[in-house]
Structure 1
């Protein structure tokens, strides 16, 4: 593979060991992850984070209510990611996919998927 085709984006998922999953307002289930996002390109990336694998997942990144994260050129960033599922999901560990999507300066898609687990307490 040529160097130009190498994905400039890498995401490592770090599970928050303190709390696997907890119930929050409205019976929703919340899981917290930390993402180590690595941008090896020479331009900043504006990433939209998402998750699927359990119906109705909602994602928040960083300290705000947004699912968008900016990572400077040739930098890495540790970002807290909160994922909530609606009430009624069966207890146990559910496989999910965490996605990071962006476009580079030439408007080419830059993306990566990481496997994780979403834990619903008994």
Structure 2
């Protein structure tokens, strides 16, 4: 952070940090009826770093969502008189762990739902 007369420059590799700082400053300025001119620059390295941190989380949630969405169709397939012998080992694993998958799915942050 560096301060000049009527100007402050903040640097961070974390986009969320800058976003939170911008929101807090805007809120305080509004409360005090001060006009702020906020600009920001994102470097390619910052974007790349942020995405590399997010992608594993998104991939995990996508896989969890896929498993969650398979639970009911797999249950119906087995309930129609078929044994679970017709299921792949992966599908059997999903059915055997349906309660755990449901709980994990419920605990997943809602905002990730928009990403998948």
Specify if TM > 0.5.
no
> Normalized against structure 1, the TM-score is what?
0.23
Which one has a larger percent strand, Structure 1 or Structure 2? 1
Which one has a larger percent helix, Structure 1 or Structure 2? 2
Greater radius of gyration (CA): 2
